[in-house]
Amino acid sequence: MRHDAGGFTDAEREHLRPVINTRDVFPYAVVLPPAPSRLIWLPGNHGGPGGAFPVGMPTLRLHLERFKPLLESVVTGYGGGTMQRPWWSAHRPRLELVEGHPAKGKWADLAVTTRWGDRKLVVGLAPARSLPASDLHAITGAGGTSAAYLVGLINSTPVQELAEALSPGSVSQGDLQALGLPQFDRVITAGIEIRARELAELVRTLIVEHNSSWPDLENALRTDTTLSGDLESAWAPAPSARGWDTINTVGWATVHAQSAVSGTVERTALVTNLLGTHLEISFTRGKINIETEEHPDPHQDLRVLVEALVRGAGSLTAAQVQALPVPVRADTLRLAWERDLRSLTAVTDRYRQLRAEIDNLVVTAFGA
């Protein structure tokens, strides 16, 4: 269910919870979209088959009454027809996910992991008040163990290596239990939890603030918890309203297109011949070459930056490549690259540092 702030009572807003979907789960953090879908989370006490709909929720009642026959058929089937419940109680909450697990700041005391994927244990801390969709596993700690500790532990390199032994396909609750996740002493547990909470904030920052500029970032986080791969090969800066034109009109680049170019970009490469090095862009049929001045520093080399721009723009046609927005001044492009890269690196360096610190804590504790 989707909603805005208007049209709902305070009681209704309390019982509409943001829904976590598979695409929202990253290592260390669940990052919800700006306007997530909502789950109706009605009180667990229902008062038997004639139980009245919760008070103070007229809009939710009107919404659910549209599906009353379906909901009645659902509750009738509970317990082989032996359970006596009102029609609206099909929207019963999973109380075990929240009772005894209060949120801490922005984050719930709840971890979420996907059941499918190449990396079978992508585990993130859920935002406060959010709840997972039915195709996700929810994990809470027992005996005072926090979900943040479990997130830090499961995403650590030693536990990820253990998880590689799990069979391909879906991850079951039994698989998670079979890992035998330990509870370390209070000092190590607190160290892991503190770092995992900071990592959750960093991952949220990467997705919310940096993913639009670095299109490979989202997939890199899901497929490589260490975040050790190349994040800079695709770049998509926001063009300015002034001082920008197209690649085929600016003075610092020369574009050579073959007479018959069709399809979309299939490959890009820096190619060296007797005349120097140029950027070669191959399409389904034909090529475009782009020449710029050479530079000894790859982070200043315009050919490298233009290649990242082409990759960041997705599946472009030849006409779209030639109309690629770029600054009129080459130095403006270099400055934009340096600014975006510096901002990204500050976050990813801290991410890797915290992961290494958790790994050291886990290895030390396992060896104790």
Each residue's pLDDT tens digit, 9-25 = 988 888 888 999 999 99
What is the spatial distance between Cα 130 and Cα 107, in angstroms, rounded to a whole number? 9
> Does the pLDDT of residue 300 top 50, yes or no?
yes
Residue with the two structure tokens 């859920």: 126
Q: How many domains, in total, are found in the chain?
A: 2
pLDDT tens digit string along 126-138? 999 898 887 788 8
Mean pLDDT of 154-180: 73
- Say if 248 falls within a structural domain: yes
- Say if 132 falls within a structural domain: yes
List the Cα angle 127/133/137 in 5-degree steps: 80
Q: Name every residue whose Cβ is closer than 8 Å to that of residue 83 and which is 6 or more positions away in sequence.
A: 75
pLDDT tens digit string along 190-199? 999 999 999 9
Do 102 and 139 reside in the same domain of the chain? yes
Q: Are 74 and 90 in contact (CB under 8 A)?
A: yes
Of 190-199, 220-229, 353-362, the poorest mean pLDDT is in 220-229
Domain of 280?
244-328
Do 323 and 340 reside in the same domain of the chain? no
- Say if 61 falls within a structural domain: no
What is the spatial distance between Cα 104 and Cα 96, in angstroms, rounded to a whole number? 17
SS3 content of the chain, % helix, strand, coil (to 5): 40, 20, 40
- Say if 285 falls within a structural domain: yes
- What does pLDDT average to over the chain? 86
Do 250 and 124 reside in the same domain of the chain? no
Do 284 and 223 reside in the same domain of the chain? no
- Say if 14 falls within a structural domain: no
Mean pLDDT of 24-50: 85
Do 201 and 287 reside in the same domain of the chain? no
pLDDT computed for residue 176 by the predictor: 66
- Say if 82 falls within a structural domain: no
What is the spatial distance between Cα 132 and Cα 316, in angstroms, rounded to a whole number? 36
Do 143 and 292 reside in the same domain of the chain? no
Do 160 and 117 reside in the same domain of the chain? yes
User: Higher-confidence residue: 78 or 25?
Assistant: 25
Do 273 and 223 reside in the same domain of the chain? no
pLDDT tens digit string along 84-139? 778 888 765 566 666 667 788 999 999 998 865 555 678 999 999 898 887 788 88
> Does the pLDDT of residue 298 top 90, yes or no?
no
- Say if 65 falls within a structural domain: no
SS3 318: helix
> Does the pLDDT of residue 320 top 90, yes or no?
yes
User: Higher-confidence residue: 114 or 266?
Assistant: 266
Q: Are 128 and 204 in contact (CB under 8 A)?
A: no
User: Higher-confidence residue: 114 or 349?
Assistant: 349
DSSP state of 317: B
Confidence of residue 82 (pLDDT cuts 50, 70, 90): low
Do 106 and 214 reside in the same domain of the chain? yes
Mean pLDDT of 281-310: 91
pLDDT computed for residue 99 by the predictor: 64
Q: What is the share, in percent, of the chain residues with pLDDT greater than 90?
A: 54
Do 111 and 216 reside in the same domain of the chain? yes
Residue 33 is encoded by which pair of tokens?
């979209």
- Say if 129 falls within a structural domain: yes
Confidence of residue 5 (pLDDT cuts 50, 70, 90): very low
Do 345 and 269 reside in the same domain of the chain? no
Do 26 and 137 reside in the same domain of the chain? yes
